[in-house]
A and B are shown apart, each in its own frame.
Chain A
Amino acid sequence: AQTVTQSQPEMSVQEAETVTLSCTYDTSESDYYLFWYKQPPSRQMILVIRQEAYKQQNATENRFSVNFQKAAKSFSLKISDSQLGDAAMYFCAYRSPGGRGAQKLVFGQGTRLTINP
């Protein structure tokens, strides 16, 4: 079974600075997807960024980028130029490739990110 671990329960950063959230996972599969989701106080899970394991290039979405290290099974999220609206709970998630329980997401415990003005 796959597991996802986020070792930082809480992180804080000054507005406009950069912060990195850590995530490690365990799997015996060679092909899979990794995600970072954001959950603000409204409780709705919002997809921040995704990474396909077969792609060597790290995914980026505006101020959000990942450092995907497949051999080390590490998937960290870097937020640049942090904004007050980035304050939320961040979850790292794993999903097997399509066709086998395809939509089941395995989540880490989450990291609560605080942005200090």
Chain B
Amino acid sequence: KAGVTQTPRYLIKTRGQQVTLSCSPISGHRSVSWYQQTPGQGLQFLFEYFSETQRNKGNFPGRFSGRQFSNSRSEMNVSTLELGDSALYLCASSLAPGLDTEAFFGQGTRLTVV
């Protein structure tokens, strides 16, 4: 069974640009969550999607957005990139919210903003 797949693994962007990261959950998983990991702030929750709907959102500016497709794959987008957006972005998938299930993480996308 394939795990959570995040693409690309590494990305370098320039300030002001926008970026789109992709996450393919484990087959059969319908819930996808995104986290930002930085040395200073640690791991912070960005948002959660289920059935193409955003269920929960963390405390991030509107430049951070996401969506989920009918096949449960999810994308997150960051517009007008800032140096502080440099981070490891982790995606986690689980069967569905409301169930006693664990979250499985992908290997992350390392975003560097220069």
Binding site for B on A (CB under 8 A): 33, 35, 37, 42-47, 50, 52, 91, 98-99, 101-110
Contacts and interface: CB of A to CB of B under 8 A. Distances in A.
Interface stretch (B12-20, B62-70, B74-82, B89-97): B89-97
Contacts of B105: 37, 44-46
B108 A104 contact: no
A91 B55 CA distance: 24
A111 to B, nearest CB: 12
B103 A103 contact: yes
B31 interface: yes
B93 to A, nearest CB: 9
Q: Is the interface of A mostly helix, strand, loop or mixed?
A: loop
Given A43-B108, A98-B98, A102-B98, A107 B42 contact: yes
B43 interface: yes
Nearest to B93: A103
A99 B98 contact: yes
Given A45-B92, A91-B43, A105-B45, 20 more contacts: A37-B105, A43-B88, A43-B108, A45-B105, A47-B103, A47-B104, A50-B102, A52-B100, A98-B99, A99-B98, A102-B31, A102-B97, A102-B98, A102-B99, A103-B48, A103-B94, A105-B35, A105-B103, A106-B45, A109-B42
Nearest to B56: A101
A70 B22 CA distance: 38
A108 B63 CA distance: 25
A101 B43 contact: no
B108 A101 contact: no
